[in-house]
Amino acid sequence: MAATAISVIIPTLNEAESIGELLAAVTKLDGITEVIVVDGGSTDDTAELAAAFGARVIHSARGRGSQMHAGAQSAGGDVLWFIHADTIPEIDTIDQISNALENPRAVAGNFAIRFDGSRFAARFLTWLYPKLRLLGLIYGDSAIFVRRDVYERVGGFRPFPIFEDLDLIGRLKKEGEVVTLPARVHTSSRRFENRSFALTFLRWIFLQLLYWFGVSPERLGKMYLPLRSK
């Protein structure tokens, strides 16, 4: 395919401690057309730090679904790449996106993922995620990318407080192939670290089951709020 114009979209909320590392990594990647940081009302220096790295900062209603959709609407690239603020892509991710999208049947994709940290939570989640992919479960912390025209055709991210990623992936799979690429992204296990991992993980599984049984993401979001800080 022709040279791929990739727009990176990063949702943020009080990410001053991590946004610099991500933006430093992204600036090393060839082929990025633009970096858009979509801030959901940070009270720290997130927006100022992002602007200092050359990112275009816009603001939207709080919530990853709303923020990422706002970024997509503002983006100019023909590929949209959504990266969480605590996730760092490896250097070969861009080449793998371009190569994957040479296949006209591929409409979107994500990456293998490694959770950073030495604790059990990080090791367990790194082991678990490939098994979840076998069940068709793809989450936003694995850095989802999508052809812009397909994203627009399916309606993009919905403003859900939780499971906005699973909802989008489900609609994308009806349009074509969603591929998982071998390059890894490194993400934080911070949501699970400073609390009982067993209790947090069981609660996450419970919410997942409720979602598949049809409980609305809005209702689930109220139960999930203590686990997600943004």
- The domain spanning residue 190 has which CATH number? 3.90.550.10
Query: Within a domain: residue 102?
Result: yes
pLDDT at 156: 97
**Distance between CA 219 and CA 48 in Å, rounded?**
34
Query: Within a domain: residue 82?
Result: yes
Pairing of β 32-39 and β 56-59: parallel
Query: Within a domain: residue 199?
Result: yes
pLDDT at 230: 40
Query: Within a domain: residue 229?
Result: no
Residue 121: alpha-carbon gap to chain centroid: 19
pLDDT along the chain (230 residues), means of 10: 81 95 94 96 96 96 95 97 95 95 97 87 89 89 97 96 94 97 88 70 87 86 58
Closest CA to 51 of 6, 19, 85: 19
Q: What is the pTM of this model?
A: 0.91
Work out how many domains the chain is built from and give that number. Answer: 1
Convert the pLDDT of each residue in 127-148 to its tens digit: 999 898 888 889 999 999 999 9
Query: Within a domain: residue 24?
Result: yes
pLDDT at 228: 46
Query: Within a domain: residue 1?
Result: no
**Host domain of residue 80:** 6-224
Closest CA to 190 of 143, 139, 132, 125: 125
pLDDT at 229: 43
**Distance between CA 58 and CA 68 in Å, rounded?**
11
- Cβ-proximal residues to 128 (8 Å cutoff; 6+ apart), any chain: none
Can you tell me whether residue 8 is helix, strand or coil? strand
Query: Within a domain: residue 230?
Result: no
pLDDT at 148: 97
Query: Within a domain: residue 61?
Result: yes
